Amino acid sequence: MAALDPGDPRSIGGYRLLGRLGAGGMGRVFLGRSPGGRQVAVKVVHAALVDQPDFRSRFRREVQAARAVSGAFTAPVIDADPDAPEPWLVTSYISGPSLEPAVADWGPMPTPRVFALAAGLAEALVSMHGAQLVHRDLKPSNVLLATDGPRVIDLVAVAAVGVPMALTGGHDSAPGHEPAPSTAPSTTPSTTPPTGP
C-alpha cells in the first residue's frame, strides 16, 4: 500500500482513506476505514468515464447486480454512490494475495488445496448464477486467497445473463492496470504460501 498522494481525497462517502492500493483504467483504489472501524476497499471512478454517455445508469445497474450476489466466497459490495461527482463503490477488504502471484511465487498447489480452491470457486459461481448473473472477468488476479478460503472479487464485473460489458469494453481490471477493490497487496511481503485453501 502506498501513501495517499497530495491530490487524493482523505475521505469518500464517510469512509476515511488510509492509503492507495492501486490505479488503472477504471479508477483509483484505496484502503479505507468505515465509520464503524471496518477496513474496506474504496474504488473511485475516473472523471473521464463519467463523461461517457449513459455511464452513470450503466454503473448503477452493475452495482445493483453485484449487490445481488451473496456467499462465503465473494467480496460483497457494501456501499456505492453512482451519482457522486466522482462515482465510487466500497467492497469488503480481503487480506491475502491473488491466485496469480501465489502460483507464480510458490508454484503448484498441493492437491488438497486445489480441491478446496475449486470448491470455493464453484460455490462463488453458484451464488452468482443463482442470481442470474455471470462474472465477466474471472481470472487468477480476481481470486484472492484469504486464510479462510478463496474469494472471487471485482463483482462489478458481473452482469445479468445476456447483458454486454458496460464500463470499459470488457477490461474493467485488465492485468497490470489495477487491483480490484479488495485485492490490496500486503504491506509486508510474505515468503510463505497462504495457509487457507
125 sits in which H/E element: helix 111-130
Cα torsion 173, 177, 179, 181: sign:
negative
**Is 29 in contact with 23 (CB distance < 8 Å)?**
yes
Phi and psi, residue 117, nearest 5°: -60, -45
Alpha carbons 6 and 2: distance in angstroms, whole number:
12
Task: Residue 100: count other Cβ atoms within 10 Å of its Cβ.
Answer: 15
C-alpha–C-alpha distance, residues 88 and 29, integer Å = 10
Residues serving a catalytic function are: 137
Distance from C-alpha of 98 to C-alpha of 190, rounded to nearest angstrom: 13
